[in-house]
Amino acid sequence: MTSLLGAEAATAVIPAPDLPVRPGGRGAGAWRYVVLVVLGVYFLVPIGASVWFSIRDRGQGGVTARHYTGIPGAEGFAEAFTRSLTLAALTVVLALLLMVPTVVLVNLRLPRLRTTVELLTLMPLVLPPIALVVGVRSVLSWAPDYFLNTPLAEAFFALQEPSLPWILVFVYVVLALPFVYRALDAGVRGADLRTLTEAARNLGASWPRVLVSVVLPVLRTSVLNASFLTLALVLGEYTIAAILGFETFPTWIVRVSGSLPQLSVAVSVLSLLITWVLLLLISALDRRRGLKESA
């Protein structure tokens, strides 16, 4: 989906005809279309194939929406989907609660820690999720092995409650750190946050007030971006949920793909669509805000 947006951006910056055309410009234009077509094929063919597979009626031939209409009633779908949405919402809230003050602090009060924080937030990208989850699993297994009948063991077990596994929230927050940090940091750097917070402090605002009334509105777009990236990450995460043995939306899709292959693909297509719609919604919200302000 990123590449599709990239293509949109690329068409938007095609130089106006009155700009001087450098030699070979025509050839470069042709190459641009080649790249677009190759990329389009690369991304659209699998999606098209999935869509075709999910609407093809194997019995009588022709097309059917049967597999889509069957989604809401499919066994386990509602639970898994709701659980994933809940996990995503909790992850977004927790990641923002953690990172908004961090980013603001690093930019305003502790600029010397910037490199450290940047490196720390990069760790989840460097560490393969599989290594992370193996570590998490062995730590969780300490509970029955060493701490049985202690409050700590109770806490560990509570973290692994199958209906709402909080442990996944914590691991997802870690996984989301690189994206959340970068989205927020870009927003903070774009605005002169130091002057704005000082102006608010000077006018008598307490620190919590500064955060709510000044920082968050300024970071609105970045917060939206960070939330969206986190949401997409959680709704698509399979490895960790599967290895820790929890049923989330992605693991449910994989589970039903054996018995109901067309339904599982229909669900995948649908989730892709939902992600796109969310993305478009966010950029539309942002654009409308821009329009309102420049009106």
Partner 1 sequence: MTAVSARSAGTADLRDRPGVPIRLERLTRRYGPVLALDRLDLDIAGGEFLALLGPSGCGKTTALRAIAGFDRPDEGRVLLGGRDITGTPASKRDMGMVFQAYSLFPNLTVAENVAFGLRVRRRAKAERTGRAAELLDLVGLADRGGRYPHQLSGGQQQRVALARALAVAPQVLLLDEPLSALDAQVRVQLREEIRRIQLELGITTVFVTHDQAEALSVADRVGVLRAGRLEQVASPDELYERPATAFVAEFVGTMNRVPATLADGEVQLLGARRPLAGAAPASGPVVALVRPESLVVAADPAGTGRVVTRTFSGASTRILVALADGAEVRVDVASAVSADLTPGTAVTVTPAERPVLVAPVEPAADGGAAAQA
Q: Which of 74, 87, 214, 241 binds partner 1 (CB under 8 A)?
A: 214
Q: Which of 204, 258, 259, 291 binds partner 1 (CB under 8 A)?
A: 204
CA-CA distance, 233 to 237, in Å (whole number)? 6
Minimum Å gap between C-beta 211 and partner 1 is 13
Q: Which of 41, 69, 192, 277 binds partner 1 (CB under 8 A)?
A: 192
Q: Is 69 in the site for partner 1 (CB under 8 A)?
A: no
Minimum Å gap between C-beta 195 and partner 1 is 5
CA-CA distance, 252 to 248, in Å (whole number)? 6
Q: Which of 21, 63, 203, 284 binds partner 1 (CB under 8 A)?
A: 203
Q: Which amino acid is at 154?
A: E
The residue (of 196 and 270) whose beta carbon lies closer to partner 1 is: 196
Q: Which of 109, 114, 189, 209 binds partner 1 (CB under 8 A)?
A: 209
Q: Is 198 in the site for partner 1 (CB under 8 A)?
A: yes
Closest CA to 268 of 293, 249, 289: 249
Minimum Å gap between C-beta 201 and partner 1 is 4
The residue (of 259 and 294) whose beta carbon lies closer to partner 1 is: 294
Q: Is 202 in the site for partner 1 (CB under 8 A)?
A: yes
Q: Which of 220, 239, 257, 260 binds partner 1 (CB under 8 A)?
A: 220
Q: Is 205 in the site for partner 1 (CB under 8 A)?
A: yes
Decide if 273 contacts 50 (C-beta within 8 A): no
Q: Which of 199, 274, 277, 285 binds partner 1 (CB under 8 A)?
A: 199
- Which residues are at the interface with partner 1 (CB under 8 A)? 191-192, 195-196, 198-206, 209, 213-214, 217-218, 220, 293-294
